[in-house]
Amino acid sequence: MEDTHKHKGLRKQLIELLKQKGIKDTRVLEIMGSVPRHLFMDSGLMHLAYEDNAYPIGAEQTISQPYTVAYQTELLQLKPSDKVLEIGTGSGYQTAVLLGISPLVYTVERQQILFKKTQRLFQKLGLRPKKHLFGDGYLGYQNAAPYDRIIVTAAAPSLPKALLKQLKTGGKLIIPVGEKQQFMMRLTKTGENSFDKEKFGRFRFVPLLEDKN
């Protein structure tokens, strides 16, 4: 569980690349410059951790590409006092980035193998989300609702109703919507049943799966 000089150097280069690609939020860049992404990857792939790519993490899932993490986190406009729900914990890397901004992070994963693996990693790294849950993110997490922010890190064919409901008025949901490829969407809740919708760039995510196995 080492973070060496070499890792730090590679991370700096990655941050420069993210800037070149258009990421501007200095807090997001700073945090991604400090979170050791290699520790969230399988040992055989660690040497690739500071390439701007997605890689397999088991259970047919991937750790999101750094650019995607930066893009989604920038759109989220998370404040230190915000309560945030993340759907799709996966490797836990995006969770660690969120925890760098706010301690009030709730995160849900539906693959038991990944859930357990990441739970151990969080313990090792001393990362403490408010709750790390095993379950179906389509349903959100009602017990801690409403949320200031919700971030979905898998592709949704349509907008999950429970997530819209569990958002605070004034709150924001970042979600990639679409089947084969997705558009990043930002919804801002303006009233009980009303939303402002913004559509951003095209991405490719693993699907948000409805049934648990």
183 and 201 Cβ atoms separated by less than 8 Å: yes
Would you call 64 a catalytic residue per the annotation? yes
- Considering the rule CB under 6 A, would residue 62 count as an interface residue with ligand SAH? yes
Per-residue binding string, ligand SAH, 154-193, x by CB under 6 A, is: x---------------------------------------
Closest to 90 (Cα-Cα) out of 34, 40, 142, 158 = 40
Closest to 106 (Cα-Cα) out of 152, 41, 60 = 152
Query: Any idea of the CA torsion for 97, 171, 79, 204, to the nearest 10 degrees?
Result: 30
- Considering the rule CB under 6 A, would residue 107 count as an interface residue with ligand SAH? no
The footprint of ligand SAH on this chain (CB under 6 A) covers a number of residues equal to 24
With respect to ligand SAH, which residue has the nearer C-beta, 37 or 83?
37
- Considering the rule CB under 6 A, would residue 108 count as an interface residue with ligand SAH? yes
Among 73, 94, 166, 182, binds ligand SAH (CB under 6 A): 94
- Considering the rule CB under 6 A, would residue 127 count as an interface residue with ligand SAH? no
104 and 130 Cβ atoms separated by less than 8 Å: yes
173 and 150 Cβ atoms separated by less than 8 Å: yes
Interacting stretch for ligand SAH, rule CB under 6 A, among 11-19, 106-114, 122-130, 169-177?
A: 106-114
- Considering the rule CB under 6 A, would residue 140 count as an interface residue with ligand SAH? no
Q: Is the dihedral of CA 74, 103, 111, 159 positive or negative?
A: negative
Tokens 């379950």 correspond to 135
- Considering the rule CB under 6 A, would residue 88 count as an interface residue with ligand SAH? yes
Q: Please, what is the end-to-end C-alpha distance for the chain in angstroms?
A: 31
Interacting stretch for ligand SAH, rule CB under 6 A, among 13-21, 96-104, 134-142, 173-181?
A: 134-142
Among 66, 100, 129, 137, binds ligand SAH (CB under 6 A): 137
Active-site hit among 34, 64, 91, 102 = 64
Other beta carbons less than 10 A from residue 190's beta carbon = 11
Interacting stretch for ligand SAH, rule CB under 6 A, among 54-62, 123-131, 165-173, 174-182?
A: 54-62
Closest to 23 (Cα-Cα) out of 62, 65, 72, 64 = 72
Q: How far is CA 73 from the centre of its chain?
A: 7
Catalytically active residues, by annotation = 64
List interacting residues with ligand SAH (CB under 6 A): 57, 61-64, 87-88, 90-91, 93-94, 108-111, 114, 136-138, 153-154, 206, 208-209
